[in-house]
Amino acid sequence: MDRLDELGRRIMRLATDKHRPLWIEGVLVFATDRMTAPMGTVTEPMLTVVAQGAKRTVLGEHAFEHHPGQVSVVTVDLPVVGQITRASATEPFLALGLRLEPATVAQLLVDGGPTTIRPHDGPGMAVSDAGDDLLDAIVRLIRLLDRPRDFQVLAAGVRREIHWWLLNGPQAAMLRQVGIADSRLALVARAIAWIRSRYDQVIRIDDLASDIGTSVSSLNRHFRAVTAMSPVQYQKHIRLQKARIELIAAPHDVAAIGYSVGYDNPSQFSREYRRMFGAPPRQDALRLQTMDIVRE
């Protein structure tokens, strides 16, 4: 608990903007004293440690609760809905994030030698308690931010250590796939990059499977296991989440924003938007303008 308290104090001091996550030397720090409305975003591969407060993340039909002393790991770009569920002026929500490095994972798999770990068959996101060694390394990394000269020399080694403890923790099976070029996660990551580069276009699953070198059946099976949705559903989530963010700034341009994310039919856009977010585009955007949200 001493390490967790120190982590929280350092996050609070560094997070000068209390409404948005802040990146400092590749380390994300975030503090807020407000609970937030659910807001969609696309996460990148990273680990996040909660030092205080609580957050809820929804991926498809999976819901993840993040509490103090827990680490969440995301291994591919995933469209999720996040919400700060516990935060106050006296006990703000405090969290630290760090991007995962596939090259570091791959090198550690070589340096660490052979090991037997059961295959990971779940989604590309998980939450577990942060072990003492992992938490200690994370605290040492954030301490280095106060010493820029030391940070330049020592931070890379501490980042490597953090990846090592993740590879030897509860999420080892999932993380191992990040560093293996022909793993299921690597295949899904290629598919995700392909879809995101064409999110506003009509896509054919046959073309996607052919371009990434797999069969349609294998693609669909692995993609759903990692992301909790099909490739077409993933594209729809990306489209609608991008539209939702744009609508907050321009709630009256519904048709134009729908078209910009790939919808030729305004009625279809409004119908699918309402199905995902529970309200028509303009009404939802006006509601969000009056609520606290967190956008990364």
Q: What tokens does 51 get?
A: 């030092």
Helices (H), strands (E): how many in the chain? 12, 10
DSSP secondary-structure letter at 168?
T
* pLDDT for residue 44 is more than 70: yes
Closest CA to 161 of 109, 108, 115: 108
pTM of the model: 0.86
Q: What tokens does 204 get?
A: 């054919």
End-to-end CA distance of the chain: 28
Q: Identify the pLDDT of residue 295.
A: 47
Q: Tell me: the pLDDT tens digits for 244-268?
A: 888 888 878 899 999 999 999 999 9
**Coil, strand or helix: which one is 25?**
coil
Q: Which residue has the higher pLDDT, 161 or 61?
A: 161
Q: Which residue has the higher pLDDT, 284 or 182?
A: 284
Q: Which residue has the higher pLDDT, 118 or 183?
A: 183
> Angle at CA 74, nearest 5°, toward 144 and 181?
100
Query: Tokens 């609580």 map to which residue?
Result: 54
Contact yes or no for 238/193 (Cβ under 8 A) = no
Q: Identify the pLDDT of residue 234.
A: 94
Q: Tell me: the pLDDT tens digits for 200-235?
A: 999 999 999 999 999 999 999 999 999 999 999 999
What does the alpha-carbon distance between residue 185 and residue 67 come to, in Å, rounded to a whole number? 26
